Structure 1
Amino acid sequence: MDMKNLRCKRLLLLAWLPVLAAARLQAADAPLYVWPADCPIKPGERVLFLGDSIVAPGMYAHVANALVDELCADQKTPTFFSYGVAGATAQSIVPELSKALKGGPYDWILLNYGQNDSGRFTPEQFREHAKALLAEVRKQAPQARLGWISVAGTEPTPYADEKDQEKRAQSQREARDKCAAIAAATKALCAEEKILYVPLHEKFEEVLKERDAQGLKVCFTMDGVHPNLPGNWLLGAAILQGLGFQPDAWSVGVLHGDAFSDQGRLAMSSRAKPLSLRFDSLFLCLRLVPPPVDELVCAPARKPVVLDGDLAEWDGVPASTAAAPLHVTMELMPKQADRYAASVRTCHDEKDLFFAFDVREPDLGEGTWFPEIIEVFLDGRKDRSTSGNVWRKDPGLTQFCFHRDFSGAAPAAKVMVNGDVAQGEGVRTAVRTSAEGYTLEAAIPLTNFKQVAVKSGTSLPLDWAVSFTDQAINLDWLGLMSRSSSTRGYGQLRLE
C-alpha cells in the first residue's frame, strides 16, 4: 500500500470536511419549497379572506399560514387574514364592509361568497350582487387587488348507497348542483371583471370523486356545508394550490374530530390508528389522527378542594392538554397560536364534580367583542342514540362557560350556561392569575344531573375548549368544531 498517497488522500478529505459539513447544513436549512415567482400574490403581502360563516373561524387563513410557514421556512411570505359573517351573501355583506376592512390595509382581498346565495338567488342575481359588491370593495379599499374563491359547495354524504339515505343524498346533490352553477357564474364574473379566480369548487369536486372512488367513509364537513377540522385543512390547502402553490406531496397530522360521524349522523369513538388520506388532485396528504387523550379519569379528590384558584391541592392529579398546532379550531389573530395553551384536571367528592384549568396566554385583558370563555360540554342525556344539540336545549346536555375577569380590583370568575340550564344551578368558580396566564377552578353539584345518576362508575360524554379573547384563537380538546351543535366525537368523563 502506498502510505504517502493514502496520507495525501486523508489530508485532502480533512480539508474538504468543513465544506461538506457546510453543504449539509445549508441543505438542512434550505426551505422545502420556494414561493412561486409566478404566483399573483407576492411575499410580504397581506391577504384577506372575506366570506360567510365558512370563513369566519379563520381556519382557511390558519391553514394557509401554517403550510406556507412550514414549507417556505426562513423566506418572506404572505400573511393571510380572515373575516366572515354568518349567513352572509354577496348582497348582505355590503353594509358590513367597513368592519371587515378595519384590519387593513390589505394588498389582496379574496372574496368567498356563494353558499348562502345558492339557496336564495339565481346565478344571474348572484352575479349582479357580486358586481355591486366588487364595486363597493374597490371604493373602500382602492389599494387592494381582488379575487374570488369559488364556493366549495355542499358535501354529499359518502353513505349515499344506503337505502335510508337516498332522500338526503338526493337533496345534497341538488344543493351541490346549485353551488356548481354559482361557481360557474363566479368564474365568468372574474373573467369579465379581470380579477383573480381561485377554483376551490372544482378542486373540492375532484377530491370528492377520489374519496368515493377509494371507498372512504370520511366527511370533510360537520353538517354538509361547514368544514370540520380535516375539511378546513383540505380546503385551505386547495385554496393555496389554486393560487399556484404546488409543492411536492406533504403530510400533516390532523385530529379526526367528527370526520367519521357522517356529518353528525353516526355515533363514533376515536380511532385507534391514524388514517392517511391521499388524493392525486391535492398536494396535501391528511393523516387523520386520534386525540392524544379522549378520556378524563375523574377520581375521588385526594384532598378537600378549596375553590380559590390555587391548584396546590391538585398536585399529582393527571392533566390533559390542548395546544397548538393539533388542537387549533379557530384563529383570527394570524400566526399567534403557539402563545396559547390550556390543561384540565378533574376529580369529585360526594357532592360536587370539580374541574381545574391552567391557561397560558399572553394577554389577560378584556376583549372588544368576545369575552374569553372556558367551555365544558357534558352530555347527561338518558337517551344518547341521536346526536345532541346545545342550541336545541336538549334536556341533559349543557355547555358551561367560565369567564375570567381581571378588570376589577380583585379577580372574578363568572358562569354562563347554555342548553339545559338547570344543570348549571349552584355552580361555583374561582380564578387567579399565574406566571403565564391564569388558573380557574369550578364545582358542579352532582345533583344537577337529573336524567342520569352521576356517581362513581358513571361515564359522561365530554368535550372542553378555550375560546380566547376576541376569538384570537380557539383550542378544542378533541378538534371538534361542531361541539355545540353535535355531540358526535365527544370523549368521556369517567368517575372512579
Structure 2
Amino acid sequence: MIFSAGQRIVFVGDSITDCGRRDRAAPYGDGYVNLTRAMMTATYPELGLTWVNRGVSGDTVRDLTTRWERDVLAERPDWLVVKIGINDVWRFFGDQPDQGVPIEEYESTLRDLLSRAVKNTGCRLILVDPYLIEPDHGEPQRAQTDDYLRVVHALAAEFDAVHVPTQGAFDRVLATTSAGQWAHDRIHPNLPGHAVIAQALLAAIGWRLPS
C-alpha cells in the first residue's frame, strides 16, 4: 500500500469527484471519494490519513486552471488524485460544443497543472481515467473518450504517477451487464457505479483486506 502515516490525500475533478461534497454530502461527497476513504480508514486506521475533496461539478481542465492555486497548491497534498476529462469530451456532444476542450489543449493544460503541483508541493500523483459507460468502442463519444484516456495513460508514465484504469473497470462489468445498471446517462454513476471506480482506485494504490 502506497500511503504512509499522516499523509494528506487531495482529490480534484468534476461532478464524479464532487458528488455533493459542497452541500448535501459535505465534506467528502457520497461517491467514489468517500467509498475509498471509508475502506482505507477501516483497513488502515493506524495511518491517520487526511482526506480532502476538491471536486466541482461541470469542470473541465480549463476550470481547474482557474482554481488550481486555491484548491490544489494551497492544500499541500502528499498525494494528489486527479480525475478530469469527461466534460472536456461530453461538451462536444451536447448543446455547448464550443465549450468542449480539444485534445491538444487538454493534454497541454493537464501537463502544466500536474507540473505545477509537483514543483510547488512535491506531491505524488494518482491519475484517474475519464470514461464513458458505453460498451461500443465505435460509438463516437466513446471513441473520443478513448483518445483522451490515452493522454492520461501517457501522462501517468511521464510523471511516474499511479494510473487508475476506470474505463477498463467499467468495460469489465459491461461484459455481463447493461450501461443502465451503472448510470442513467452513461456518465454519472449510481452507488454501485461509484464502487466500480473506488475498487479500481483501491487496487491501484495497493489496498488489501486484512488477513
Q: TM-score range by the shorter chain?
A: 0.7 to 0.9
Structure 2 CA distance, aligned partners of 1:244 and 1:100?
26
Aligned to 2:24: none
Map 1:93-492 → 2, pairs under 5 A: 93-101=64-72, 104-118=75-89, 119=92, 120-139=100-119, 141-151=120-130, 153-156=131-134, 173-211=139-177, 219-247=181-209
Secondary structure of 1:117's match? helix
TM (norm. structure 1) is 0.35
Which residue matches 1:456?
A: none
Displacement of 1:231 = 1.6
Distance 1:176 1:104, change over 3 A: same
Q: State the Cα distance separating 1:195 from its structure 2 match.
A: 2.4
Size of the alignment, in residue pairs?
191
- Partner amino acid, structure 1, of 2:17: V
Give the aligned residue type for 1:60. Answer: Y
Is the Cα contact below 8 Å between 1:204 and 1:238 reproduced in 2? no
- Residue 74 of structure 1 and its aligned partner are, at CA, apart by 4.5
Mapped to 2, the partners of 1:242 and 1:176 lie a distance apart of 23
Q: CA RMSD in A?
A: 2.7
Structure 2 length-normalised TM: 0.77
Report the CA distance shift for 1:242/1:210 in structure 2 as closer, same or farther (over 3 A).
farther
Larger CA Rg, structure 1 vs 2: 1
* Paired residues of 1:65 and 1:79 also in contact (CA < 8 A): no
Any idea what SS the aligned residue of 1:91 has?
A: helix
Tell me if structure 1 keeps the 8 A contact 2:73–2:121: no
The SS at the match of 1:245 is: coil
The CA deviation string for residues 98-152 of structure 1, in whole angstroms up to 9 with x for no partner, is 331377232111111111122423433321121122133235x42322221111x
Cα pair 1:148 1:186 within 8 Å, conserved:
yes
Unaligned runs of 5+ in 2: 20-28, 93-99
**Aligned counterpart for 1:56 among listed residues 18, 22, 34:** 18
Question: Greater relative contact order (Cα 8 A, min sep 6): structure 1 or 2?
Answer: 2
Higher helix share: 2
Q: Note the alpha carbon deviations across 1:231-252, whole angstroms, 9 max, x for none.
A: 222322221112222439xxxx
State the 4+ residue runs in structure 1 displaced beyond 6 angstroms.
none
Deviation at 1:218, TM superposition (A): 5.1
1:83 positional shift: 0.9
Matched, 1:81 2:39: no
Indicate the structure with greater strand content. 1
Question: In structure 2, how many angstroms separate the alpha carbons of the residues matched to 1:131 and 1:74?
Answer: 34
Structure 1: 5+ residue stretches without partners = 1-38, 158-168, 249-496
SS at match of 2:202: helix
